[in-house]
Structure 1
Amino acid sequence: MGNICSKSANKSDNFSGPGRPLASANGSQPSSAPVPQKVTTSTPGRQLGGREGAQSPDDARGAAAKAAEARAAAGAKTGGGKLSANLAAQKKQTQAQLLSASSEQERRARDADSTAQSQAYN
C-alpha cells in the first residue's frame, strides 16, 4: 500500500509544534480601562419625595379619565360601517335567538352537502 502515515505527505498541523505559555502571547494590552467621559445634563434633577412641580396621583388619575373619555367620544362619533352595524345587531340578540340562527345555518350547510353528494353520485 505504501507509506500512508508518513510525515512528509501530511500538512503541518497547528498543534504539532511545542506549546507556549499564555503570558508570552504577542499583542499590546492596555494597562487600564479608559476613563469615561463626564456626563452633563441641562436640567436639574428632581428631589426625591418632593411635591414641587410634580403631579399628584389624583391629577394623574383625572387626566387619564379625561383622555379615556375623549377616546370614547371619538370612537362614538365615527358612526361605524356595515360591520359595526352587524355587530350591534348581534349584540341585541338573545341567547336563544343566537342558538336558533346557528342551528339553522348548520342545517342549511348539511342540506347543501347532501345535495352535492347526491349529484356527484348520479
Structure 2
Amino acid sequence: MGNICGKESDAFAQPGRRLGTTPETPASVPVPASATSPKAKVGGPPRRLGGDSSADTSGSSPDEARRKAALAAEARAQGNKGGDLGKKLADQRKLTHRATLEEASRKNLREREVDAVTETLRAS
C-alpha cells in the first residue's frame, strides 16, 4: 500500500538512523519578512457578511434585511407542519405516556406471538 497523494519515493532509499537518536534540527528557521511586519494589514473596504458588497445595489437597510429574515423564519415555522415526517412527529406528540407504554406493550405481545408460531412450526 502506498500514499496516493504523496511523492513516489522509496522509504528505504536513504540511510536510516539508530534507535534512540533524534534527527538533526537546523539552528534557525527562516521566517518571511511579511510575517514579522508589525503592521500586517488585510486590504479592501469592509463588507457585510453573506454577500458580495459590489453586487448589493438595492440599497436595503439593515432593518429591511432583519424584517425579511423574520418573515422567512415565520414562513418556515408555519410551513413545516406537512409531509410524512411532520405527520409522524405530530402523531408522536399527541400520544400520552400511558398510550406510548400501551403501544409498546402491544408490539411486544405481537412479537412474542410471532416467535411462538415460528417455534411451533420448527418443532413440527
TM-score (norm 2): 0.45
- If the length of structure 1 is used for normalisation, what is the TM-score? 0.46
